[in-house]
Structure 1
Amino acid sequence: MSVDGLSINLATVREQWGFAAAVDGCLRHGITAIAPWREQIAKIGLAEASRIVHQNNLHLTGLCRGGFFPAATAEKRSAALDDNRRAVDEAAELGADCLVLVVGGLAENSRDIVAARQMVADGLDALLPHARACNVPLAIEPLHPMYAADRACVNTLGQALDMCELLGEGVGVAIDVYHVWWDPDLAAQIARAGKMNAILAHHICDWLVPTRDMLTDRGMMGDGVIDLPAIRRMVEAAGGTPKQEVEIFSAQNWWLKPGDEVLKACIDRYENCCQSDSPA
């Protein structure tokens, strides 16, 4: 089976390799689609990272990440917006399919989640003209509700799509199975996303039982309880065909293994656990 439909989010091997070594590792395994993180790019420099991307004809399924709009003061919100504009510029230089946005949680010392969501909408509205000018789609990634306070106050695909409808062209969603698999409205919202042409990215991993750490104990596909083929069928039925991007934070398991071993496992599980025609 071809790995053409597979992308590696470089968080999956961030403890083993820097950006250049991760690219070399992916190329050794025939993988030409990646999604780097901004700090990985910063360490090597944007110019050198861009050279590596374009010299190897890499497909960037996304750049992680922008967002974190809510803040307690106007000055901090303005600083966040400036940083997001820089993130758009980086995504444009690298030719990324989208800039993935983890929108941010509550403002400092706040309990007002409604206000936080309004700050997110306002921040996106202010960022969109620059993103449109740079031809960089913005992908809102709804995160599991356990992250509502500190990482993302947008917690369901429905909430994210509501924002997309309000904001208009240039904004869509990143569907990460780790964050949305539990949602009883998932099928309907993926279908809705398809009608809006809003499916910009599809991230995969698995939910372990038990989960030892809610941030850094994601599972390799097939090791947990997520019905990955079923979700892929939903995405494809909605007309979405983004590559399946493996994004695994695994402090106690996969980050401890050699990078090549991790990539071999990603390919094996992609082939055997993630296809829409696989048995559910």
Structure 2
Amino acid sequence: MTEFSFNQATAKYWPLVDVVKGCAAAGVRHVGLWREPVAEYGLERSVALVQDAGLSVSSLCRGGFFGAPDWLDDNRRALDEAAALGAPALVLVCGGLFDRPLADARARVASGLGALAPHALDLGVTLAVEPMHPMFCADRSVVSTLAGALALCEPFPPEAVGITLDTYHVWWDERVLELIPLAGPRIASFQLADWVIPLPADVLVGRGLPGAGHVDFAPLVDAVLATGYDRPIEVEVFNAELWERPGEEILRDTIAAYRSVIHD
């Protein structure tokens, strides 16, 4: 099986200690972490916890939100945290309008990447811009397409600025299969989640496990792997109903869903 990584957001209410222990017990070697649970447990303790379990951190989420008042200091801290955890990528949710016109908000993202890229290079952590579905443009990310994300990356070396490619956010994009080969060296993180309908009132928590919805995974996975992508593939699912289940069950069903769409 291509290397699988369990993103802890898929089991939001499962404590970090239990996520790590559960993954190790299930033979899962990689985990995607989020800053808030890491901070709650303590960064140094989290580093030791993951290392002692023999796991690697495939990504840390999240940086970005470039319109926030403390964006620069917060993103520098996030890069430091990623480096301490051994995460090769810091996932960037770039932020919505923050009371700016759309063009200005996107320009602010470009400026923010320029400010952070030297620190990312020094630490060996890639700033991984995540293009998000357009329905999140106003409040979560003004970067909505793979083409737009690649344009933001272009001034920087791939080691400094790359992308997070999440099937949930890009499956609809008619250019995505055309652009993935061009994006190859920039793909710092690859995530799987499905598009299920009807969407809930809170669209943020309406994702499904791979195979539960309408995403055609095979062409996307094949295209990414054809670029030479050799990092773990994460499953990251925000789903309120899924979160209510025991963590061990979520992990078990996530592994099964991953295997249903990833074939050796």
TM-score, normalised by the number of residues in structure 2: 0.96
Deviation at 1:273, TM superposition (A): 2.4
Normalized per residue, which structure has more strand? 2
The reply to whether residue 50 of structure 1 matches residue 47 of structure 2 is yes
Q: State how 1:33-182 maps to structure 2 within 5 Å.
A: 33-71=30-68, 76=69, 79-107=70-98, 109-110=99-100, 112-169=101-158, 170-182=160-172
Aligned AA for 1:89? Answer: D
**Whole-Å Cα distance in 2 between the matches of residues 273 and 55 of structure 1?**
31
Secondary structure (helix, strand or coil) at the match of 2:62 reads strand
Residue ranges of structure 1 left out of the alignment (5+ in a row): none
- How many angstroms apart in 1 are the aligned matches of 2:18 and 2:130? 27
User: Is contact 2:88–2:124 with CA below 8 Å preserved after alignment?
Assistant: no
SS in 1 for 2:229: coil
TM normalised by structure 1 equals: 0.90
Q: Which residue of 2 aligns with 1:19?
A: 16
Deviation at 1:242, TM superposition (A): 2.6
What is the Cα-based RMSD across aligned positions, in Å?
Answer: 1.3
Contact 2:177 2:219 in 1 (8 A): no
Alpha-carbon offset, residue 257 of structure 1? 1.1
Mind listing any 5+ residue stretches in structure 2 that lack a counterpart?
none
Of residues 222-231 and 167-176 in structure 1, the stretch that sits farther from structure 2 once superposed is: 167-176
Tell me the number of residue pairs that the alignment of Structure 1 and Structure 2 aligns. 262
User: Which residue is 1:184 aligned to?
Assistant: 174
What residue is the counterpart of 1:208 in the other structure? Answer: 196
Letter of the 2:86 counterpart: G
Runs of 4+ aligned residues of structure 1 deviating over 4 Å after TM superposition are none
CA apart distance, 1:32: 1.5
Give the AA of the match of 1:63. L
Give the % identical residues.
Answer: 44
How far the C-alpha of 1:83 sits from its partner, in A, is 0.4
Aligned mates of 2:178, 2:230 — CA distance in 1? 17
Q: State the Cα distance separating 1:168 from its structure 2 match.
A: 3.0
- CA apart distance, 1:57: 2.5
1:274 Cα deviation from its structure 2 partner: 3.0
